Amino acid sequence: MCTTCGCGDTALVPVELHEKILAGNDRAAKHNREHFLEAGVLALNLMGSPGAGKTAVLEATARAAAGKGWRLGAVSADLATDNDAVRLVKAGIPSHAITTGQACHLDADLVHRSLHGIAWQKTDVFFIENVGNLVCPAIYDLGQAANVVVLSVTEGEDKPLKYPTMFLAADLVIVSKCDLVPHLDFDMQKLDDAIARVMPKPNVLKVSARTGEGLAGWVAWLEALRLEHGLVGKIAGMAGHSHQPAGA
């Protein structure tokens, strides 16, 4: 599917070239990370399948965190259209669309270039909504502070076992659309067991963007992560010299 990385297929991209691509990406990611932290911005890589509910979770986050006074921002990636970015703007999250064409994931350079057109330094929490995919996004560091995977109950209980790399890289798994469980042939215990088998330190929140279930825990997790990274009390954009990432 992806002509950028070959999805790890050595018949498409030789191992040495793939390693070179990842090394270049890691340098760009380190650069992004330095600027996010210097500006006092908590950046998160939000991943999951198409339709998992990534955008809906962010819309609900804007509502749930309204009393915190946080300034939220996002970039939202898809192969085509700016539909998700438009939804986030309507929800009160200034957002910029990244259209990747044939690439099934974001890389650090794409994120870096997208930052030039938005006031990311003025945000407290910045979401990088990755392309809908449970494979390639897990491989590419973007400069984020943490990886969050959204997995909907409509996808079934075995996705962590089928796509272990994604969950191995996750700091948090959000199980979304939990309001639908009574209407599905779904076993939450089986999902919990599957996550525990592939995630080194299982960390799971069960939420519903529709009803608000679990969102207080999600907001608390974000607040704890800001504290862990020394960002609580910082005014975004004032933690260091206010400037665009290098190259701007």
Q: What domains appear along the chain, each with residue ranges and CATH number?
A: 15-228 (3.40.50.300)
Report percent pLDDT > 90 for the chain.
83
The gap between the terminal CA atoms of the chain, to the nearest Å, is: 31
| Amino acid symbol at 116 | H
Predicted confidence (pLDDT) per residue in 12-29, tens digit: 667 777 678 789 999 999
**Look-up of token digits 């279930």:** 213
How are beta strands 95-99 and 125-129 bridged, if at all?
unpaired
Q: What percent of the chain has pLDDT over 70?
A: 88
> What pLDDT shows up at residue 1?
39
Q: Quick one: which of 203, 198, 131, 205 has its CA closest to 165?
A: 198
pLDDT in the model for residue 15:
77
- For 147, which DSSP code? E
**Residue 39: per-residue pLDDT:** 96
Average pLDDT score over residue span 93-107: 95
User: pLDDT tens for residues 145-180?
Assistant: 999 999 999 999 999 999 999 999 999 999 999 999
Instruction: Retrieve residue 115's tokens.
Output: 């930052």
pLDDT of 8 reads: 52
Specify the 3-state DSSP secondary structure of 122.
Answer: helix
- CA 57 from centre of chain: 11
Give the residue-averaged pLDDT of 47-71: 97
Rounded average pLDDT over 44-65: 98
Strand partners, 201: none
CA-wise closest residue to 75 among 92, 62, 94, 56: 94
- Rounded average pLDDT over 48-71: 97
Q: What's the pLDDT at 14?
A: 75
**In this predicted structure, what is the pLDDT of residue 239?**
47
Q: Is the pLDDT of residue 83 over 80?
A: yes
Residue 121 tokens, joined: 């330094």
* Three-state SS at 198: helix
Look at residue 246 in the predicted model and tell me its pLDDT.
37
- pLDDT tens, position by position, 215-226: 999 999 999 999
C-alpha–C-alpha distance, residues 52 and 50, integer Å: 6
**pLDDT score, position 240:** 43
pLDDT higher than 50, residue 248: no
